[in-house]
Structure 1
Amino acid sequence: MSSEQIRAAARFTLITLALAGTYLLLQQVWMALGGLGADWLQARQNLTLVDDAQVLAARSREAEARLPPQRRVEAFRLGQQMGFLAEYLGSHALSDAAVRAQAEARAAPLAAQAGTLAEALGVAPAMWPAASTADEFARLQARFEADETGLAGRIEAALSPRHRALYLLGVHVGINRAVVQSSGGTFFNGLSASQLVRHATLAGLPPAWWEPLSRAPEGATPEARQARFIAAIEALDAALAAPPGATR
């Protein structure tokens, strides 16, 4: 190869490397800009939720002034029961009759507790979206959000709009409780977690109360993951049950 050919090959290599470097740099820039765009959009959504929470608080103020404070945690507990039952029983919907019967028997005490609580709140019957097909089960979160059974609407009418948000917060906590318990902490429903964040924000709850429930629990063993998630639920329940202002 002549010296001219060597110089030409070297120039070609340098140009190729320069173009590749420029491409990679531009790729990183666009990725960074994309990340900034996503962060900006999330920030805008969060600000909108905070504004919506203030509106919800104003709409709820008069009703909440005449309601016992424990109605807050009761609405949350009822939601958690409905979410758990819907997820747990729905996950057995395609099983054979014997397995479904066993699941229903195990769930019966919780369903009875939910019925009693709904009666006490004046929002009975305590009904969750039942699933008999894979499609119905896959749309569980959307069906709760659409208030297929009318329970959320009855809670809003009997209690307040903010109690409805607490109920739906409980629903999504209950769904993931069933997911975490049945999978030993291996699985976690991100869609319910995102709805949890939404309803907790609308209810005006401090993030420290609910953030541990917005992500999959950590732990070296299934037992540790389940225990961590249950502890986070119990901490949120305790915070809601505490006298107003006691845990803020």
Structure 2
Amino acid sequence: MNSEQLRAAARFTLITLALAGTYLLLQHGWMALGGLGADWWQARQNAALVDDAQVLAARSREAEARLPPQRRVDAFRLGQQMGFLAEYLGSHALSDAAARAQAEARAAPLAAQAETLADALGVAPAAWPAVSTADEFARLQARFEDDETGLGGRIERVLSPRHREIYLLGVHAGINRAVVQTSGGARFNGPSASFLVRHATLAGLPPAWWEALSRAPEGATPEAREARFISAIEALDAALAAPASARP
């Protein structure tokens, strides 16, 4: 290869490297802009939720003034029971008859407690979305959001719009409690956690009350992970029972 060919090859290499470098810079630039766009969109979404929370607070103020704090706890517990029962029984819906019967027997006491609580609140029956197909189970969170059984609407009418949000917060906490317990802490339902964040924000609850429920529990053993998640539920339960002066 003569000197002219060497110079041409060198120019080609330099041009190729320059183009590659330019492409990488543009790629990083677009990625950075994409990240900024995602952050901007999330910020807008969060701001919209806060605005909606203020509207719900105003709509709920009169009803909440006459209701004891215990009603917030009751709404949360009822939601928890509905979410747990729907997830637990739904996960056994496609099992054989013996396994389904065993799951139903184990869930019966909780179902009875839920019915008693719903009756005391004046929102009975305590119904959760039934599951008979894989598709129905896959859409469980959306079916609660759509209020398939009408329980959320009854809670809003009898209690308040914010009590409905607390009920739905409980639903998604209950779904993940069932997931965590039945998997020994190995699984966590991300979509339900996202809905939990939404409803907690709309209910106007401080993040410190519920953040631990929005992520998979940590721990060296299944027992530790399960205990940590249950502890987070109990902490939120206690915070909801706080007197009016401690409310957000």
TM-score tier by shorter-chain length is over 0.9
**Deviation at residue 246 of structure 1 after TM alignment:** 3.5
Three-state SS of the structure 2 residue aligned to 1:57 is: helix
1:89 aligned residue: 89
Superposed CA RMSD in Å reads 1.1
Say whether residues 1:137 and 2:137 are aligned partners: yes
- Percent identity over paired residues: 87
Three-state SS of the structure 1 residue aligned to 2:245 is: coil
Deviations 1:74-125 (A, max 9, x none): 1000000000000000000000000000000110111111011111111111
Matches within 5 A, 1:173-192: 173-192=173-192
1:221 aligned residue: 221
- Partners in 1 of 2:103 and 2:137 — Cα distance? 16
Matches within 5 A, 1:59-138: 59-138=59-138
- Partners in 2 of 1:85 and 1:230 — Cα distance? 16
**Deviation at residue 192 of structure 1 after TM alignment:** 0.7
2:49 aligned residue: 49
- Partners in 1 of 2:225 and 2:78 — Cα distance? 24
Deviations 1:193-218 (A, max 9, x none): 11101100110000111111111112
- Partners in 1 of 2:188 and 2:130 — Cα distance? 21
- Partners in 1 of 2:193 and 2:218 — Cα distance? 15
Question: TM-score scaled to structure 1, two decimals?
Answer: 0.97
2:152 aligned residue: 152
- Partners in 2 of 1:195 and 1:63 — Cα distance? 25
Structure 2 counterpart of 1:160, one-letter code: S
- Partners in 1 of 2:28 and 2:128 — Cα distance? 47
Structure 1, unaligned stretches of length 5 or more? none
- Partners in 2 of 1:221 and 1:19 — Cα distance? 52
- Partners in 2 of 1:192 and 1:244 — Cα distance? 29
**Deviation at residue 244 of structure 1 after TM alignment:** 2.5
- Partners in 2 of 1:141 and 1:223 — Cα distance? 26
Structure 2, unaligned stretches of length 5 or more? none
Say whether residues 1:26 and 2:12 are aligned partners: no
How many residues align? The count is: 248
2:234 aligned residue: 234
